[in-house]
Structure 1
Amino acid sequence: MLSVVPMRAETSDRAEIVTQLTFGECYEVVGRDNNWLQLQLAADGYRGWIDFKQHTPVSAEYYKEWCGTRHARVLDLLQTVKVGEYNVPVGIGCYLPFYDGSSIRINEERMEFKGSASDSHAMSTQADLLRVAHYFMKAPYLWGGKSIFGIDCSGFTQLVFGICGYQLPRDAYQQVTYGEEVHFVAQAKPGDLAYFSNAEGKITHVGLVLEGQKIMHAHGEVRIDTLDHNGIYNADRKRYSHNLRIIKRIYL
């Protein structure tokens, strides 16, 4: 039970990090190669490899129960869960399985948690979404990252929506298939997702639309830039950084 574990594209510590496994998440082990386990995450179906030493087994009964439950998430930037005699750091967005207001449960063990937790049943407004998003401001960019200490563009949007109770897929090209298209930037509302493409037309970036034709996205850091019909304009560099492809609206 660790705060964050890298999931890699291949069975090597040098391999690309494709995403991260965060505290409280459940997964299936779908493959093994020597000291590496291939996982499939229960929440979004994403696959990657982890070092077997970072594996926490759970029972089949627990896994089934976990998958059938909507779990609270950590709402503080950084908190701890008391596991035995140790305090494990947990960041915003980490799962709190079977949270009862003071403790969580993993397998049959209850663990103390005294921080702030999201109630995804209640956090379903545009204001909630934007409030959660602003917690991530200045978080550094990390390819494959999914935590406050390193996050990529789609990890950012997935975590923000997840804390508010809506499960998005992991990557931007997968997320773009969700929601209803908004045809013009002028019609975009705070909380919409804007997607951006490369020269080949592939969706490679996503950000969260704010008031006043602004956008919050992970690019070097989680930051706010200007959005128009061309794309994202970075005032610091005085140039466009991303080309707009489409805007989608998701109803929580």
Structure 2
Amino acid sequence: MKKYCRVNVGTIWKNKDKAREIDRDGIMYPANIQRWLLELNLDEKMSFTKDNRIDTQILYGEAVEVIEEHDGWSHVICLEQPSKQHPKGYPGYIPSSQLGDLNQEKSSQYMRVKVPKTTLFNQDFTTKQILSFNTTLPVVKIGERFVEVATPEVDDGLINIQDIELSDEFGTFKTGTMKDVIQNAKLFIDLPYFWGGMSSYGYDCSGLCFQMYKSQNFHIPRDADEQFEAMTELPINLDGLQMGDLLFFSKPDDDGFLSHVGIYMGEDMMIHAPHTPKSIEIVKIPGSYYQKILVKAARLSTI
């Protein structure tokens, strides 16, 4: 059964027992992602990684396939996030209250949010949701100032036309450039890292790469190791790299596992989401810690 995320950011948990009382703002409907993340202390944020709580996130309107539902939680497959863990996409658990139905038959044209955040209004211009960058929804009607969109809640919504880009009539967005990938990533400099993060409320390293690529119609898997496997390997020579290539890192205690990824910007620079409690940043690779643990580089073969 296909369902759609009806909160601005739906968190996909490793297991339904991994959410804590302190995570209530992130698992309720409607969710309050901003308050949830602001109220967590460092140890509580570190627990997402250390205790293997969160795997990924989905955005408002993103499709999942529900495998089963029990005790208010749905076991789902994230259909828009390729993963080796399941042939159809990334698996995990999400509160059933955060899922709804979406009428996609209203239109074959879509809109995508191109700014860090924008307001989705109700028809009376009260706030329905605060949407993340890259949120995608079916277009119902295009007006002079606002676009009416179908939503996974009861009623359609309105979004400022200046904050979105439109697909063609068949739902395909224009393919951009790697320069545009970098420009979009720069929008999030100083945004705090969030393990499993896939939204402009917080990204993890592979989530940043996934969403910035997707924003220009380039598609890669969700996790860093699988992103490398899906791309063409390059020699680790900064002089031979191009803007938008991905750089992969492995610490000595990772036993060769690719535990980190960043986007090469050119001129020996990289933009990446480091780790909790740091924020998205630009670093110069030569002479840095990252030069010591750089083990792979890759390029999307379709470029």
TM-score of the two chains, using structure 1 as the length reference: 0.85
Report the Cα offset of residue 155 of structure 1: 0.5
Please report how far the alpha carbon of residue 141 of structure 1 lies from its aligned counterpart in structure 2 after TM superposition.
0.3
Amino acid at match of 2:298: K
State the match for 1:236 in structure 2.
Answer: none
Deviation string 1:176-229 (CA, Å, 9 cap, x unpaired) is: 11222221222011110111123300011110001211100001211011224x
In proportion to residue count, which structure has more helix? Answer: 2
Q: Does 1:43 align with 2:89?
A: no
Residue 92 of structure 1: how far off its partner (Å): 1.0
1:205 counterpart = 2:260: yes
* Structure 2 unmatched ranges of 5 or more: 1-5, 21-51, 82-88, 168-172
Check the 8 A contact 2:12/2:93 in 1, yes or no. Answer: yes
**CA distance, structure 2, for counterparts of residue 98 and residue 49 of structure 1:** 29
SS for the counterpart of 1:203 is coil
Matches of 1:118 and 1:192, distance apart in 2:
25
Counterpart in the other structure of 1:112: 158
Same amino acid, percent of matched pairs: 24
Name structure 1 gaps, 5 residues minimum. 234-238
1:122-150 deviations in whole A, cap 9, x for unaligned? 34212211211111211110101111221
Distance 1:242 1:8 in 2: 33
**Structure 2 counterpart of 1:55, from 75, 78, 99:** 99
Root-mean-square deviation (CA, aligned residues, Å) is 2.6
- 2:198 matched to 1:159? no
Residues 1:222 and 1:50: Cα distance change in structure 2 (over 3 Å)? same
What's the secondary structure of 1:132's corresponding residue? helix
Pairing 1:139–2:185 present: no
Say if 1:43 and 1:167, in contact at 8 Å, map to a contact too. no
Higher strand share: 1
Q: Does 1:8 align with 2:13?
A: yes
Measured at CA, do residues 146 and 241 of structure 1 come closer, stay the same or move farther in structure 2, by a change above 3 Å?
farther
Alignment of 1:84-99 (within 5 A): 84-85=123-124, 86-87=126-127, 88-98=129-139
Within 1, Cα distance between the matches of 2:16 and 2:292?
Answer: 32
Total equivalences in the alignment? 239
TM-score (norm. length: structure 2): 0.71
Out of 271, 280, 283, which is 1:225 matched to? 283
How far apart in 2 are the matches of 1:127 and 1:99? 31
Quote how far apart the aligned CAs of 1:33 are.
2.7
